[in-house]
Chains A and B, each alone.
Chain A
């Protein structure tokens, strides 16, 4: 806990690990060469550092270094994987299968392809926990299917999909399998061989690395995956992604992967214990709250809860307090979390992920996502538990819905006056 407040939004981004910064620093200062410069030591040093980073990243997911293509982040990786496959394999087919709960980087890429008439896309439904059924993938595959894109773990509700089972289906059917694994890599074991993953998107800043650097794993053998590039230029990254390599970013990404790999077992347990402490604390203190997502198959650091009768943004505002002078005077630290409420988005629609789980809009509006990570402490969890319970009670005292519910009125039977 510090003066800047408590950060529990680690699905949005993570702080840079100081050890990562330390590894990067020389590549922002003295070792500035272009990794593609073959004629002098400045270039050779940069290339050596980038290749070491590539090795560290590959090792975390059970891949070979040459199968790692550097990008600007997971959004670019998703675009390259999906558009690249659809374009390259257009003679084989044009059907893509994905899920309703995917990140917008996948969904909007698919929609762009549909709009241009380049692909037809099946958006698979999920179960009430947000999980994709491998049999549903099997049933959706046609002789025109070229790609299945299913995320490893969901960014809102943390639900982890049965990757190995889905991979077994795609492998058997001879269809390529892409996974946006941005939220899962570094937190849980990922093995592209065991899971039969052919393309995998990842991002450094979700795992205590720097922003602006990501990667796409592209399987080199059994099968060899081909892609049409999106960015043309100097033919970097085996022609898949041109552009001068972001060497300091790659060094940081590599170091972040190494730290995650070495500490994964301990960290997953520690973060899970914090998550469970938060969950148990909130459920002990408050009635009428609901867990969104899977109780067990979820990211260790993810907790997504609906606080019935309290609109999410109003709760965020209460937790955020200390950014404002009034709250600073009361010296309460601000708490950074996020909400699936419509009011926090530009669209005024509540979370499409919660909708896909069958969570009603009235509860989706009350959802809060807590994202715990490497640098959170038990002391912070206890403070957040108390503060959330306090704010929820305060807002329920303001809530006509809470009052009606306590009077025994069935809110679903009320004829509301929609404006």
Chain B
């Protein structure tokens, strides 16, 4: 299989590899995929109180295109607002990385991963906002 230069570049020099502490309130974590399907992505976003993505990290078990897709989205989301991030579509990843049809699922997984991370952040934030309320009620 011939890989595009961008896939090779992200595979060889992946950006933003690593992990944030999952329990930090400003961190959203998305883990998507399954080992028996051959790909698992963990995407983490550090989001400011204003809802801007300040930093991102990933770890991916999967083929070169899956690694490249997740590395690419961690770059893409930085500096974007949560609403802007939610507008990212997998087709954008497919285009940027010139993924062949058989690798489109890698881009879908990356899109799912950032959405899951934001959902996690929103859930945490909802709980954080809810907590003082609960405290008052008791």
Contacts and interface: CB of A to CB of B under 8 A. Distances in A.
B36 A361 contact: yes
Interface string B1-31: 1010100110110100101000000000001
A365 B39 CA distance: 9
B33 interface: yes
A397 interface: yes
Contacts of B41: 400
A343 interface: yes
Given A314-B11, A400-B41, A362 B36 contact: yes
B33 A418 contact: yes
Contacts of B60: 398-400
B31 A398 contact: no
Interface residues on B, range: 35 or more
Contacts, number: 95
A279 to B, nearest CB: 24
Interface string A390-414: 0000000111111100000001000
A2 interface: no
B59 A399 contact: yes
A344 B66 CA distance: 13
Contacts of B116: 417
A326 interface: yes
Given A327-B12, A399-B59, A417-B112, A314 B64 contact: yes
B18 to A, nearest CB: 9
A311 B61 contact: yes
B77 interface: no
Interface stretch (B45-53, B91-99, B101-109): B101-109
Q: Name, among B14, B37, B41, the residue most crowded by chain A CB atoms within 10 Å (CB to CB).
A: B37
A417 B112 CA distance: 10
A376 to B, nearest CB: 25
B32 A398 contact: no
Contact of A417 (B9, B34, B64): B34
Interface string A360-372: 1110010000000
B138 to A, nearest CB: 32
B12 A326 contact: yes
Interface string A21-55: 00000000000000000000000000000000000
B61 A309 contact: yes
B63 interface: yes
A303 B35 CA distance: 23
A400 B60 CA distance: 6
B73 interface: no
B73 to A, nearest CB: 15
Given A397-B17, A400-B31, 6 more contacts: A313-B64, A314-B62, A341-B63, A343-B63, A401-B40, A417-B32
Listed from nearest, the 8 A-B pairs whose CB atoms lie closest are A416-B34, A362-B35, A361-B36, A400-B42, A313-B63, A400-B59, A317-B64, A365-B38
